Each structure stands twice: as C-alpha cells, then as structure tokens.
Amino acid sequence: MTPFTYTRHNRTPRTVVILILVYAALISLVILFDAVWWLIGLLALPTLPALWDVVRDTSAGLSLDQNKLNWFTGNRTAEVKLSEIDYVRFDTRWDFSVRVSLITISGKRIRLPDESIPPHAEFESIFEQAGIRVERHHFSVF
C-alpha cells in the first residue's frame, strides 16, 4: 500500500472572495439603507470563524500509511492504528454531505473531522486498497 496524504488550507481564493462579498453586502446595507450597526454586527458574527481561519491560515488533513491513520485540524491531532479499525462507515446526510466514522474492533465510533477528509469517493477507494472494509449508509438520521 502506498502512503496517502491529504491537506486542505483554509486560506483559499474562494473563501477570501466569499468573505469580501459578504462584507461588501453588509457595508452596502449600511450605506444604501442606513441599517443599524448592531444588526450588521449580528449578521457579521457567523463569518468570524471563517475570517479567523483565513487570517491564521489554518489547515486540516490526514495521512494513511501501512500502520496508522493520522488526522489534524488546526491544533488538534489524533491517530488510530489500522489494526484497531474494524470498518469505516461513510454516512450520506440529508444535505448530501458525507460523514466518515471509524468503527474500532471494540465497537467505539471515532468521527473524523469534516474539514480533514478528502473527497469521499477517493477516500473510500484508499481504504479499500488498504484492505479495510467500508460501509456506505445513505440518508440515515444517525
């Protein structure tokens, strides 16, 4: 098995453009419609985590080799030995996002952070090449 590495940086041109457009729209509300500042502040609050990620240029990702799976997001890191993984569960949610969970031999479920996983089709084939069983569950509630 060839080692696999995936890294995603949060300071992408797409994220920067979206933030610029959102802040331009909020400023235009103030200028054109004389919106109150506290309302604009409330509307800007959900953008602060994305702004923080862009300013700090945080990254997330994972690596898989013959012995273990490592993942990281921001300052948090974790790893699991491949020998401890019973199977990997891919859950497609109602919003079409895919959640990935590692089910250990002891029955413990470890959910991988969404920002650290690669596109699910590629990720699924990587696990299959490593000889790890993969289960797909579409539109489940849990």
User: What's 91's domain CATH number?
Assistant: 2.30.29.30
Measured between alpha carbons, how far is 63 from 116 in angstroms, rounded to an integer? Answer: 10
The three-class DSSP label of residue 27 is helix
> Per residue, what are the HEC states of 40-107?
HHHHHHHHHHHHHHHHHCCEEEEEECCCEEEEEECCEEEEEEHHHEEEEEEEECCCCCEEEEEEECCC
Q: By residue range, what is the domain housing residue 133?
A: 4-8+59-138
pTM: 0.76
Does 33 share its domain with 65? no
Measured between alpha carbons, how far is 125 from 113 in angstroms, rounded to an integer? Answer: 19
State pLDDT tens for residues 1-51: 678 999 999 889 999 999 999 999 999 999 999 999 999 999 999 999 999
Does 46 share its domain with 107? no
